């Protein structure tokens, strides 16, 4: 077999592998419990909760991640290397360990103070957002840094020399130039938050109608052998996943000035 066909063959295998997996779901579609599960209030609640939580977690991640990404991309400062490495912690530590760490933290005096005087996180909706934020903040920062790295600091230098303050140079030049990359980072982070399971279930629990996000709902449906419900939720999750991927693809489309 030629070199070329071996390589392409491997790529096709991966495609068949994933596509077959999704296709197999449809084997059970249309059972009598299927439509029932689709319109069940708990299912709809899970979808809504997942959408809201992932969006809020992503917003928070961008709010703190974008300035951090800019700092890492443009400035030299003490401890930069350590900071950069720490961003990878959520990528290498198992999500369940991350969630468990939060449980431990909220049992320390400081954690208890935050919960009693501020917001309650453990087994509550804010816990979902916090868990998702923790999982994606590092990733979001990393991805956004990569897109900022692609924009030469020379543009800002020129903008500054022409009279822009650093803030103006950022939003008039760097931000529009890196917008596609930043948007793709945001979408990917959102997708990761949307599908987050381990940290969320550990910190916020799995209470139907309260803290049950879609991945958690899939888990509980399987645990109670409710195959129909599980498949409905998986398909919806896959649907959203494909939509986000399509979104990322769109951001990759070239602008007219390229």
Partner 1 sequence: MIRIEGLTILFDTFKIIDLNIQIEEEGFHFLLGPTGSGKTLILESIMGLRKPEMGRIWIGDREVQDLPPERRGVSYVPQDLALFPHLKVKENILYGIKARELDMKIYEEYVYALVEVMKIDPLLERYPANLSGGEKKRVALLRALAPKPKLLLLDEPLSGLDPSIKVDIQHLLKNLHSSFHPTTLCVTHDFEEAYFLGDGMTIFMDGKVEQVGKRDDIFLRPKSKKVAQFLGAKNLYRAKFLKNEGSSQRWILGVNGLQFSIPTSLVQEKVEVEKEVDLFIRPEEVMIIREAKPVKDSLKRNIFEGEILDITDKGKYHWVYFQTKEGQIPFEISIPNYAFRNLNLSIGKSVKIALREESLWVMT
By the criterion CB under 8 A, which residues form the site for partner 1? 152, 154-155, 157-166, 168, 172-173, 176-177, 255-258
| Least distance (Å) between residue 183 CB and partner 1 | 14
Q: Which among 28, 54, 33 has a CA at the least distance from the CA of 235?
A: 28
Q: Which among 171, 177, 184, 169 has a CA at the least distance from the CA of 249?
A: 184
Judged by CB, which is closer to partner 1: 101, or 251?
251
Using left for φ > 0, alpha for ψ between -120 and 50, and beta otherwise, residue 164 falls in: beta
d(CA 200, CA 220): 14
Judged by CB, which is closer to partner 1: 77, or 257?
257
Secondary structure class of 144 (helix, strand, coil): helix
Which DSSP letter does residue 182 get? H
| Least distance (Å) between residue 171 CB and partner 1 | 12
Q: For the beta carbon of residue 189, count every other beta carbon within 10 angstroms.
A: 29
| Least distance (Å) between residue 62 CB and partner 1 | 21
CB 226 within 8 A of CB 239: no
Longest dimension (CA), the chain: 69
Judged by CB, which is closer to partner 1: 19, or 179?
179
Judged by CB, which is closer to partner 1: 115, or 168?
168
CB 245 within 8 A of CB 43: no
| Least distance (Å) between residue 156 CB and partner 1 | 9
| Least distance (Å) between residue 77 CB and partner 1 | 14
Judged by CB, which is closer to partner 1: 2, or 161?
161
Half-sphere exposure of 234 (CA within 13 A, CB side): 20
d(CA 26, CA 232): 10
Judged by CB, which is closer to partner 1: 109, or 163?
163
| Least distance (Å) between residue 32 CB and partner 1 | 55
Judged by CB, which is closer to partner 1: 39, or 161?
161
| Least distance (Å) between residue 178 CB and partner 1 | 10
Q: Which among 211, 215, 228, 171 has a CA at the least distance from the CA of 34?
A: 228
d(CA 55, CA 192): 11
């Amino acid at each position: 077999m030629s070199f070329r066909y071996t390589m392409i063959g491997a790529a096709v295998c991966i495609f068949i592998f994933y596509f077959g997996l999704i296709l197999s779901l449809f084997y059970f579609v249309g059972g009598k419990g299927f439509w029932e599960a689709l319109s069940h209030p708990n299912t709809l609640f899970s979808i809504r909760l997942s959408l809201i939580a992932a969006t809020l977690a992503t917003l928070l991640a961008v709010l703190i991640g974008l300035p951090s990404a800019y700092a890492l991309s443009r400035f030299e400062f003490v401890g930069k290397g350590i900071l950069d490495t720490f961003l990878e912690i959520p990528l290498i530590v198992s999500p369940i360990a991350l969630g468990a760490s939060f449980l431990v933290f909220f049992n320390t005096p400081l954690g208890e103070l935050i919960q009693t005087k501020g917001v309650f996180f453990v087994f509550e909706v804010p816990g979902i957002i916090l868990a998702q934020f923790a999982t994606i903040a590092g990733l979001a920062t990393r991805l956004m840094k990569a897109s900022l790295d692609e924009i030469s600091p020379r543009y800002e230098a020129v903008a500054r020399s022409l009279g822009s303050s650093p803030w103006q140079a950022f939003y008039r030049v760097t931000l529009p130039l890196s917008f596609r990359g930043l948007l793709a980072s945001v979408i990917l982070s959102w997708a990761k938050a949307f599908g987050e399971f381990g940290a969320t279930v550990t910190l916020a629990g799995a209470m139907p109608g309260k803290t049950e996000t879609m991945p958690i709902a899939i888990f509980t449906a399987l645990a109670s052998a409710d195959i129909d419900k599980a498949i409905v939720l998986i398909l919806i999750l896959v649907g959203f996943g494909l939509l986000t991927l399509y979104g990322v693809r769109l951001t990759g489309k070239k602008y007219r000035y390229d």
